[in-house]
Amino acid sequence: MFEILTQRFSQIFKNLGGKGKLSEKDIDEALRQVRLALLEADVNFKVVKDFLSKVRVRALDASVLSHLTPVQQIVKIVNDELTNILGGVASQLTPGRQPVSAMMLVGLQGSGKTTTAAKIALYLKNSGQRPLLVAADTRRPAAVDQLVLLGRQLDIPVYSDNKEAATLALCRQALKVAEQMGAKWVVIDTQGRLHIDEEMMTELVQLKTEIKPSEILLVVDAMSGQDALNVAEEFHRKLGLTGLILTKMDGDARGGAVLSAKYFTGIPIKFIGTGEKPDALEVFHPDRLASRILGMGDVLTLIEKAEKVFADEQSRQAEKKLRTASFDLEDLLWQLRQFKKMGSLAQVAGLLPGFAGISPKLLQGDEEQRLRRFEAIILSMTPEERRNPDIINGSRRRRIARGSGTTPRDVNQLLSQYYQAKKLAKMAAKGKIPRGLFGL
């Protein structure tokens, strides 16, 4: 996701970096390019206008223009304002006052609502909060069967009643069952439609009045672009949404819906769906996503993913090495092998500082081949070269390339990405924008 924006921002900042000291004209031209990039990414025009206005005011501050590295200051300003546009801080789920908290998932058919209900339940389960899924989308019979199957696969209980046509009665009974079994959350997969209609909204309003949910989350397809904002506004007007879940983020290279949603609707984004697997659901962190968009990676999310996959001791070692940027090529090889367990190589690469600029198209389709090439290059090195890559000169590169069946250019590419990853990880740990980013 955000492939287009990441590439465009990288080029814009690289062009600024070649100018040394910046003038007002330089900044205005850069902001013109940013404007085009955001509009091409399908970001709402009002959002773009406000964003650029705030960035320009801060960028023209005398302290920025007189700074020894003004472009780094510009990058920081853009990062800050992107974070603000996205919502500022992460929005957490809010449990109700009752022993069992109810959560309504609403949305149109095709948005991924049923699958997302299972993902949310798995997230709650992994957080130590026992959930009960409720198959209340009785209008689409396949939805009930789908949720029951997902619940069985994830070992999460599902309440359904094919004989019960009334959604209100079904949900009332589900709450009683949840209390009896000691569940903390009831996750209700409500009925959807191909489009918003009065009958659907009336039923959802009645359901809200009856069960008094502490969370009403709209599941919306991020690939629907500006239409997603219109859908969100209509649902919010009728139901008073508490949050958004944007699905199919892995299929949207533009990302305009994400950048527009919070600003345009005022509704916080709570989760984003990043794939089809049950665990491909991320808590939405505005600051982390802004960092990803600017190509600076997302080390914190990477560590969280690693903790789910690695053993405790391995997790601690991986976190320490990532935070201190002390990993060598042997560590990189081990990490690449483990990353396969955390999702596609393209998804993980987007979290690595220095690797976010790689187009997912280069990683999709031949991920295994690319991983094997990297592995072959590292395995063709001596133990000393893996621990201390600085000693790898031209002759060693040629020897490594011959031994791995690759080219010196492939070896150079791996080493370049390795050094950039180390540098950016170290600077990110200190909360700084490093020199060398975007070619500066």
95 domain-assigned? no
Distance CA 127, CA 321 (A): 26
Residue 360 sits in a domain whose CATH number is 1.10.260.30
Cβ-Cβ contacts under 8 Å for 181 (sequence gap 6 or more): 130, 132, 157
Considering the domain architecture, whether residues 233 and 308 belong to the same structural domain is answered as no
Torsion of CA 16, 18, 23, 25, to 10 degrees: -60
- Burial category of 42 from C-beta neighbours within 10 Å (exposed 0-12, middle 13-18, buried 19 and up): buried
In this prediction, residue 437 carries a pLDDT of 45
90 domain-assigned? no
In the numeric block, which tokens belong to residue 439? 């070619």
Q: By C-alpha distance, which of 102, 158, 113, 170 is closest to 140?
A: 113
31 domain-assigned? yes
Distance CA 78, CA 59 (A): 9
Q: Report the Cα 196 to chain-centroid distance in Å.
A: 28
96 domain-assigned? no
In this prediction, residue 17 carries a pLDDT of 75
What does R_g of the chain's alpha carbons equal in angstroms? Answer: 24
- C-alpha angle with apex 229: 227 to 230, nearest 5 degrees? 65
Considering the domain architecture, whether residues 141 and 180 belong to the same structural domain is answered as yes
Distance CA 90, CA 269 (A): 8
Considering the domain architecture, whether residues 331 and 312 belong to the same structural domain is answered as yes
92 domain-assigned? no
Chunked mean pLDDT (size 10), the chain, 440 residues: 78 77 85 90 88 90 65 83 89 88 92 93 93 89 89 94 76 92 94 81 91 94 81 90 89 71 89 87 88 68 61 60 72 71 60 54 58 87 92 94 92 87 69 47
Residue 29 sits in a domain whose CATH number is 1.20.120.140
**How many domains in the chain?**
3
* Residue type, position 150, single letter: L
Considering the domain architecture, whether residues 306 and 285 belong to the same structural domain is answered as no
Across the strands, what pairs with 131?
Answer: 185
Across the strands, what pairs with 101?
Answer: 185
Domain that holds residue 345: 295-439
pTM of the predicted structure, to 2 decimals: 0.71
Q: By C-alpha distance, which of 128, 141, 239, 143 is closest to 188?
A: 143
